[in-house]
Amino acid sequence: MSRALITDARPWGGPARDVRIVDGTIAEILPVGTPPQTGETVIDGRGRILLPSFADVHVHLDSTRIGLPFRPHTGTPGVWGMMLNDRANWRDAGVPIAERTTETLARMIAHGTTSVRSYAQVDVDAGLERLDGVLAAKDAHRDRATVEVIAFPQAGLLREEGSVELLEEAMRQGADVVGGIDPCMLDRDPVRHLDLVFGLAERYDAPIDIHLHEPDQLAKFSAELIVERTRALGMTGRVTISHGYGLGQLPREQLVPLLEQFAELDIAWATIAPSTPLPTLLLAEHGIRLGLGEDGQRDYWTPYGNADMLDRTWQMAFTNNFRRDEDIEHCVAVATVGGRSVLGTAPALNGRLDRPGVAEGDRADLQLVTGETVTSAVMDRLPDRTVLFGGAVVADGLELTGAA
Amino acid sequence: MSRALITDARPWGGPARDVRIVDGTIAEILPVGTPPQTGETVIDGRGRILLPSFADVHVHLDSTRIGLPFRPHTGTPGVWGMMLNDRANWRDAGVPIAERTTETLARMIAHGTTSVRSYAQVDVDAGLERLDGVLAAKDAHRDRATVEVIAFPQAGLLREEGSVELLEEAMRQGADVVGGIDPCMLDRDPVRHLDLVFGLAERYDAPIDIHLHEPDQLAKFSAELIVERTRALGMTGRVTISHGYGLGQLPREQLVPLLEQFAELDIAWATIAPSTPLPTLLLAEHGIRLGLGEDGQRDYWTPYGNADMLDRTWQMAFTNNFRRDEDIEHCVAVATVGGRSVLGTAPALNGRLDRPGVAEGDRADLQLVTGETVTSAVMDRLPDRTVLFGGAVVADGLELTGAA
């Protein structure tokens, strides 16, 4: 039975407490100064804020160039042009993909992320090579983070011969989630695209995650098709829409009925905090499971991204023009337990969260961050952090602890 | 005659050079390895990127709480509600305003800013107390930065008896620029408001800076009134519009004719890189002088802001969804020489800038930043920086050098 005692830590910025962890779970919230028990590892909170660790539920580990020489962006706008740019260049990094994914995941963990849902592009160019890369990172860090892998048809399913077979092979080889993308705009046959995605999900009893970059009424149409299939196939609670930029821009009178159907079918949403934000609080009012992710990081799609979900949380608060503590703390909740709810490892949330994830009975996936308040911690994004996974310290001061 | 040699520095990320500075001006760009001359101070560039130092042309030094205990945001939306919140609280910081302004300006300089245009709120509550605070910071750092002060009627000119007299007294007491704000929305009498502002500017031979938070057609109407007065009074080149959020959202066919008039009358624009950005490249195409600023920093208006214009430059690039080097470097140009052009200390710019501000003859207000390329420096915002003002090192590693 593993035991630890975090001393002098402030759950969600509240008064200092000691926190007892038994077998990877928060067992007791205690007064400061509680004597450690025999055999208990002591983790010095030093008055820092205790938060649930981050969940990044939308990251493309398989394209990362974090830590490699900086490469000027060469893509052209639009999904197909960006995909071709990535395809033309991703092998030229000089470092095998498994090393890149493993290094980037290490940095993510070091910055506080212990739950991850990553894409692995599966297409006629990469075959399963990128999937193998992400699976290697997952395995390398299996004692530091929970990683789900999405078999992701970035190039569509209908444009290139052999795409469907590869996606199915990816599911056989260990992918956890079936991906889909822009059923109208990319494959131009939404019914066939979605039938293939939902069919695979049924066959492999897997959840679904669909990238939706489509604009306004086209996004609404695709979302309606997704809703119809989720209902018809009994996939309640197993479908996530990623991005959904266009949905977020719909007039409220069109968006709300859609959100009501998402709530009914427990369709989750993953955002990357783009500069044009989703109506974040409206989603919370409708009880939509919402998680945050970092998308591509310094890769062939974008020069942005730094493996730091605290930075991304700042970005979410900023793009929403949030200023009040309750709103900025909501962003932290989305970036932590919100993401876990998308992954199904925390309960579905309903409305605003009241400082969740650090109560007795919660899994001890935690982080200590520096700040006077949760809001100031988000504003300052300081490096003095400690990260716990299942009650064990896995990173300290932005470095992994222990052997690789 | 003061002389310095910056060795091994990469102007705008290009090949390494030595840079000779004589009497505060870049005298020669030389090959790396140039032997220093007798009496020449050597500044080791260590392969870092050499850029012009930042110009922050829209900052509210007089409300800052940077470095003080974090205070949760209490304002209500809207300019008047936020002003009342500030008014109710700004004296309660526990530190005199002159200390706060001086400390925040120190941090700004330490992060690379050596040209500043700051607001000093002048109203019936503060009288000239906030102006005195900003003037004290200007004086304390006179050897490290150029500071212009805007006498700023944050509470309007027509709502509270005595406001106009105070603004005029501020100009007599050493303010450099006459401020104005939302001529329609706040004072509700745009002609009287603007006549007062332009009248004062004429009387004191001072430039004008007008905060414009007004939406769409109202912003357009106020801008037209500003244009008319600028033309009628021969104020070409002496008027800046700040924010202009609403103008930035106008349909292109309405915005372009306005930009053509701004160009004709050389009306400048200051932005703070809000999450809904201005059409930055369109402004450049029309030769509009555009500068960047940090607005209120961790004050009674907002919890955001950290005295780091490199962070704000990232924000400008992010909100514009810029990915290519040429676009991100344009943001750096706006944040440096763009701001100087607003202040009149650099030539007006026309179109995109070709790595300006580090050529022979340019004033040696410079910074060395860490990065492989200018874009990666913006992405990483690393702390290893050296800041020069008039050829002398004034900050290193985010700390001021020399005596206070």
What homologous superfamily does CATH list for B3-52+356-400?
Urease, subunit C, domain 1 (2.30.40.10)
ipTM above 0.90, yes or no: yes
Mean of pLDDT over chain A: 96
Q: Is the pLDDT of residue A403 over 70?
A: no
CA distance A176 to A116: 12
CA triplet B81, B86, B87: central angle to 5 degrees? 95
- Provide the residue ranges of all domains of chain A, joining segments of one domain with +: 3-52+356-400, 54-343
Neighboring chain B residues of A318 at a CB cutoff of 8 Å: 275, 304, 315
| Span B301-335, pLDDT tens digits | 999 999 999 999 999 999 999 999 999 999 999 99
Q: Tell me the three-class secondary structure of A320-369, residue by residue.
A: CCCCCHHHHHHHHHHHHHHHHHHHCCCCCCCCCCCCCCCCCCCECCEEEE
Distance from B324 to chain A by nearest Cα, in Å? 5
pLDDT of B403 reads 53
Residues of B with CB under 8 A from a CB of A: 69-70, 72-73, 75, 275-277, 298, 302-304, 306, 315, 318-321, 323-325, 328, 371-373, 375-376, 379-380
How many other CB atoms sit within 10 Å of the CB of residue A276?
12
Tokens linked to B326 = 């040429």
For A54-343, give the CATH class: alpha beta
pLDDT of B349 reads 66
pLDDT of A347 reads 78
**Per-residue burial over A120-130, b = 16 or more CB atoms within 10 Å of its CB, e = otherwise:** bbbbebbebbb
Residues of A with CB under 8 A from a CB of B: 69-70, 72-73, 75, 275-277, 298, 302-304, 306, 315, 318-321, 323-325, 328, 371-373, 375-376, 379-380
Quickly state the pLDDT bin for A355 (edges 50, 70, 90).
confident
pLDDT of A352 reads 75
Distance from B49 to chain A by nearest Cα, in Å? 14
pLDDT of B62 reads 97
Q: Is the pLDDT of residue A72 over 90?
A: yes
User: What average pLDDT does the segment A170-185 reach?
Assistant: 98
Instruction: Say if residues A261 and A288 touch (Cβ distance below 8 Å).
Output: no
A164: three-class secondary structure by DSSP: helix
| Span B131-171, pLDDT tens digits | 999 999 999 999 999 999 999 999 999 999 999 999 999 99
Pairing assessment for the beta strands A366-369 and A49-52 based on DSSP bridges = antiparallel
Mean of pLDDT over chain B: 96
Is B75–A323 a contact, with Cβ atoms under 8 angstroms apart? yes
Instruction: Tell me whether domains A3-52+356-400 and A54-343 share a fold.
Output: no
Instruction: Say if residues B182 and B209 touch (Cβ distance below 8 Å).
Output: no
Is B325–A69 a contact, with Cβ atoms under 8 angstroms apart? no
Mutate to test the interface with A, among B376, B381, B382, B398 (most CBs of A within 10 A): B376
Q: Is B256 exposed, middle or buried (0-12, 13-18, 19+ CB in 10 A)?
A: middle
Distance from B390 to chain A by nearest Cα, in Å? 31
What percent of chain A is modeled with pLDDT above 70? 99
Mutate to test the interface with A, among B85, B321, B327 (most CBs of A within 10 A): B321
Concatenate the DSSP letters of all residues of A60-114 into one string: -GGG--TTSPP------SSHHHHHHHHHHHGGGGSS-HHHHHHHHHHHHHHTTEE
B403: three-class secondary structure by DSSP: coil
Tokens linked to B370 = 């860490």
The secondary element (H helix, E strand) that includes residue B101 is helix B97-110
CA triplet B84, A379, B61: central angle to 5 degrees? 45
Mutate to test the interface with A, among B249, B275, B325 (most CBs of A within 10 A): B275
Distance from B110 to chain A by nearest Cα, in Å? 17
User: What average pLDDT does the segment B333-346 reach?
Assistant: 95
pLDDT of B404 reads 46
Tell me which long-range contacts A188-193 makes (C-beta under 8 A, separation of at least 24).
Answer: A188/A158, A189/A158, A190/A221, A190/A222, A190/A225, A191/A225, A192/A157, A192/A158, A193/A156, A193/A157, A193/A158
Mutate to test the interface with B, among A304, A312, A370 (most CBs of B within 10 A): A304
* Single-letter code of the amino acid located at B385: R
Neighboring chain B residues of A75 at a CB cutoff of 8 Å: 323
CA distance B322 to B332: 12
CB nearest to A70's CB, from B70, B304, B375:
B375
User: What average pLDDT does the segment A349-378 reach?
Assistant: 92
Concatenate the DSSP letters of all residues of A198-256 into one string: HHHHHHTT--EEEEE---HHHHHHHHHHHHHHHHHTT-TT-EEEEE-HHHHTS-HHHHH
| B77 to chain A: closest CA residue | A323
CB nearest to B275's CB, from A318, A373, A375:
A318
| B319 to chain A: closest CA residue | A275
pLDDT of B112 reads 98
